[in-house]
Structure 1
């Protein structure tokens, strides 16, 4: 009996040691397939190789030290959850080995038809918005395959794929082809175009009593003339890190770079709130913001809300349905702004800037003015054809807490100014002859 108890104790100690084993140790020499992204992961010792896969090829996308690229959220025998530095966790299923094409790479040159089929299959498996974009994807295959079978050059293949991309009309879809295959467009006459920088300067000169900027104007702020209202213009959701001008920042591990961006937001928001924190209201201008990091966007928004809220949910499209829904809860910053908040939006407000707008939509006290946003929310999923051409698509579905998506339509505003969706026409709408005026700011000033 004594030996029996002794054996049980040893077993309990051993099982406890296994349960407490370092996750990085458990991950050594393992292989994983990601859900919803067409990718897989090989981990050897502390290093990883992250692969992009399709039915023909398997090519390394990134490699390096696992701890510097991913945060381990959870791990059990068959499931691994990693976070790459964003708000969406990546879910992996354990496999005995990588897909065959990752182990025995086929060096044969893929035909034009095979490249087309990989392009079509990748969208079929991972693109989430055919319905929203009014695209019959099966019909696209039937329409274009006969044409692909007749082509005799890379140029012809490029033209067909570009035609399909234009048909979908999604700002997150891109096709990177060699410069030699691009069609050169020669303008008949030089066109003088109004630049974003000129428009932003005109707003600042016309309406702000004092303008301060951070990191070459990624964010600028001041007080509106003749009022007790602050004004903050955010033109990008990148480049907030304090060492933005230091070239050595690019050598940092990705997770460190992402943390630096968030720390930069905290740094500059302390300055901004010190300057305008006592104002009765603040205008946040995202009308010229094309996106960046969703974590930066939500970190910035946290300084203008007062309660925890489920503000959005995310899931990813796979060939077997969608991944599990992930809910995001926004928490206010410790020193959040307490006055009224006006949010300015336009059709040029895109991607991560729209995630700011989508999350703000859950706070009725934040008044939105302008026009609905662009309608492209997903993180860009980059893939590669067998011939080496890279392309991107939208595979992540962002919804509000009620499950509604604004993909293709954009986040609406409460006060509509009917801005043009055309960028140049939108810019020109601020001018009437030689007179510059901003209807959105004017509307706020008369309240």
Structure 2
């Protein structure tokens, strides 16, 4: 599932199990080219999809009790994932189950005799209809109102009083922004255009993001400029120059850096769990192939140096694919384990679905691992955090993660705006729920200075290196670590 991937889609959340269209130019495959058994009409259990595969091309609708909005972009993406490898069928033909490439978690599509009456009808795009569809999507699918202490029905009803047929797009955007502001969810956003200009409403901001915003207001500069400056400093100065001394290696389309620090300590920084092949979204196989090549070289570097420990730095990690997260964790795993569970809160089946990791069959590092996170570790970066924390050779150090775990469910509004929200519930291997709270480290440590996030990261990593050199963070004896695992 492609989750929160910084370089794509205007640096906001995207997801593939949630069928994020994100401006795709992909064309839908004809129904005749889809696998046997797909022809028919289907309604998803949760997620709010109605799929009509009875015509020449599949049609996809976003359905609630009050609304039904057709989405040709998402229909094209769904047809891409409807392949024999990604489908399963029940024995009576009453349901099909689909998943993205390299994932086994599946969405159930139940056979229905006909489309809901509202699906396929022309829908108005006036301000009240747009608002009501937005409110309906949120009410039907959003999973965490209680977590953020929001009475959605009451808040939506109050906001609706401010809307009339004369409400402009800009005014409507402001009303929606105020409505969702209390929901500090990094996976909640609304992409829209006002007078031809793109705008993104996203109430969920990291502590670093909030600090940069305060600096921008103080200095009269743009938050976008400060964000770019910080990423440039973090990746090219902090990691490449100050930590790796210019001797590291940058691979995976510049998403991963690794090398040896302090003579015999391995270090790997991972900025995202996607984009490694440089081919954009929906290149899962290519991304995994590049990851494996990158990790082969990184693990070889660590093992040839007989590294006494490896630091996995996720201090700035924007997420990506869950299967990439698990593939990384498996290169440092010493035992099979449950990584996490998930279910859709808007589904009738809320049995937690277990997702596990198994030690990689090839080259891996099984000595002590120090995992470093911050409040900028988000989404699939948190799935990697969960997976690594199941291993006895891993010590989690740093700041609590962001707490945005659900895949992003995307919904099209009648006027073309796109809402993205959280509808899935994740628990870690111990059954603990960290959505909205973030995953707390075993060893708390400040990574970025609260008042100036341009400082702190290098000092924190150097402190960790020093503590490893002094014998801290060694693996428990029960893990029986060795450096050339298979």
TM-score tier, shorter chain, comes to 0.7 to 0.9
**SS at 2:178 equivalent:** helix
Contact 1:87–1:294 under 8 Å retained in 2: no
For the residues of structure 2 that align with 1:143 and 1:430, how far apart are their CA atoms?
Answer: 43
For the residues of structure 2 that align with 1:392 and 1:414, how far apart are their CA atoms?
Answer: 32
**SS at 2:401 equivalent:** coil
Distance of aligned partners of 1:45 and 1:269 in 2 relative to their CA distance in 1, 3 Å threshold: farther
Q: Which residue of 2 aligns with 1:3?
A: none
Q: Which residue of 2 aligns with 1:357?
A: 385
For the residues of structure 1 that align with 2:266 and 2:81, how far apart are their CA atoms?
Answer: 43
Query: Any idea what the Cα deviations from partners look like across 1:160-198, whole Å, max 9, x if unmatched?
Result: 111122221111111112143779999773478442232
The reply on whether 1:338 has 2:366 as its aligned counterpart is: yes
1:233 aligned to 254, 269, 274, which one? 269
Aligned residue pairs: how many?
A: 406
For the residues of structure 1 that align with 2:319 and 2:48, how far apart are their CA atoms?
Answer: 24
Within 5 Å, which residues of 2 pair with 1:428-443? Answer: 428-430=455-457, 438-443=462-467
Query: Any idea what the Cα deviations from partners look like across 1:72-125, whole Å, max 9, x if unmatched?
Result: 1333321211112245311111111222333x321x524322222221121111
Q: Which residue of 2 aligns with 1:317?
A: 345
Q: Which residue of 2 aligns with 1:215?
A: 252
For the residues of structure 2 that align with 1:419 and 1:189, how far apart are their CA atoms?
Answer: 26
Higher strand share: 1
**SS at 1:426 equivalent:** coil
Q: CA deviation at 1:39?
A: 0.9
Contact 1:347–1:421 under 8 Å retained in 2: no
For the residues of structure 1 that align with 2:311 and 2:448, how far apart are their CA atoms?
Answer: 21
Tell me: higher relative CO, structure 1 or 2? Use CA pairs within 8 A at least 6 residues apart.
2
For the residues of structure 2 that align with 1:287 and 1:309, how far apart are their CA atoms?
Answer: 24
For the residues of structure 2 that align with 1:224 and 1:367, how far apart are their CA atoms?
Answer: 18
Q: CA deviation at 1:259?
A: 1.7
For the residues of structure 2 that align with 1:365 and 1:378, how far apart are their CA atoms?
Answer: 27
Distance of aligned partners of 1:430 and 1:327 in 2 relative to their CA distance in 1, 3 Å threshold: closer
Distance of aligned partners of 1:443 and 1:163 in 2 relative to their CA distance in 1, 3 Å threshold: farther
Unaligned ranges ≥5, structure 2? 1-33, 201-212, 472-486
Q: CA deviation at 1:294?
A: 1.1
Distance of aligned partners of 1:326 and 1:346 in 2 relative to their CA distance in 1, 3 Å threshold: same
For the residues of structure 2 that align with 1:218 and 1:122, how far apart are their CA atoms?
Answer: 34
For the residues of structure 2 that align with 1:120 and 1:178, how far apart are their CA atoms?
Answer: 19
Q: Which residue of 1 aligns with 2:468?
A: 444
Q: CA deviation at 1:325?
A: 2.1
Contact 2:312–2:372 under 8 Å retained in 1: yes
Within 5 Å, which residues of 2 pair with 1:42-441? Answer: 42-44=52-54, 48-54=58-64, 55-60=66-71, 61-63=74-76, 64=79, 67-68=82-83, 71-76=86-91, 77-85=93-101, 86-102=103-119, 104-106=120-122, 108-149=123-164, 152-180=167-195, 189-190=220-221, 193=226, 194-200=229-235, 201-208=237-244, 210-225=247-262, 227-241=263-277, 244=278, 249=279, 254=282, 257-277=283-303, 278-318=306-346, 323-335=350-362, 336-419=364-447, 425-430=452-457, 438-441=462-465
Q: CA deviation at 1:364?
A: 3.6
Aligned-residue CA RMSD (Å): 3.0
Contact 1:57–1:386 under 8 Å retained in 2: no
Distance of aligned partners of 1:265 and 1:203 in 2 relative to their CA distance in 1, 3 Å threshold: closer
Contact 1:74–1:82 under 8 Å retained in 2: no
For the residues of structure 2 that align with 1:230 and 1:293, how far apart are their CA atoms?
Answer: 24
Contact 2:42–2:110 under 8 Å retained in 1: yes
Compare CA radii of gyration and give the structure with the larger one. Answer: 1
For the residues of structure 2 that align with 1:334 and 1:222, how far apart are their CA atoms?
Answer: 23
